[in-house]
Amino acid sequence: MKNESLKAARYFIAVKLSDEAKREIKNVFSPTSENLSGRIVPDAAMHITLKFLGELSAEKVESAKKIIIDAAAEFPPFHISLGKTGSFPAKKPKVLWAGFRKGRGELADLSKLISARALSDLGVAKDKKEFIPHITLCRLSDERVSKDFYSLRFVASFQAAKLFLIRSELHPAGAVYSDIFSCEFKKL
């Protein structure tokens, strides 16, 4: 019998962070995270979601791989620099995130291309909200956030060199992510 607490697998397309960027986030964010009430995202799960696809059939997973191949062929590798912190929504926050100083435009362009293809090839609707490139750090269970969090700054930089199709399975302890497919950006 299937575990009732396990929901169906969901998929998304993302760029992953370098190990250096993950270490910096952990070192800078950890001291302020001690007073937060919520679920901190583990280092291994940090990524930049470009498009959430939801549940996909095996056939649609193959179509998602093709979207990644085609999108990766359109973009050369690019640099991403971490930056300031923020929250969604700004008032009564539910999600705390890290943003970027460099690479926002490339991430937005990539997300726009992938979203258009996800709509035409998979029937996945465009997002209603504006795409804001970010790394989720914590999902809050209450709205209390230290003002110190909003003054945090990250400086690590890394090269975005691959796109990933990632499967997310929800468990009582949190989401478990598995890389399903990846493709390198075009060489210059």
pLDDT for the residue numbered 147: 84
pLDDT for the residue numbered 107: 98
pLDDT for the residue numbered 175: 84
Low pLDDT (below 70) residues in the chain: 1-7, 188
Is 17 strand, coil or helix? coil
Give residue limits of the domains in the chain: 10-184
CA quadruple 132, 137, 141, 145: dihedral positive or negative?
negative
10-184 architecture in CATH? Alpha-Beta Complex (3.90)
Q: Among candidates 57, 39, 34, which has minimal Cα distance to 122? A: 57
CA 108, chain centre distance (Å): 13
pLDDT for the residue numbered 103: 97
pTM: 0.92
pLDDT for the residue numbered 120: 97
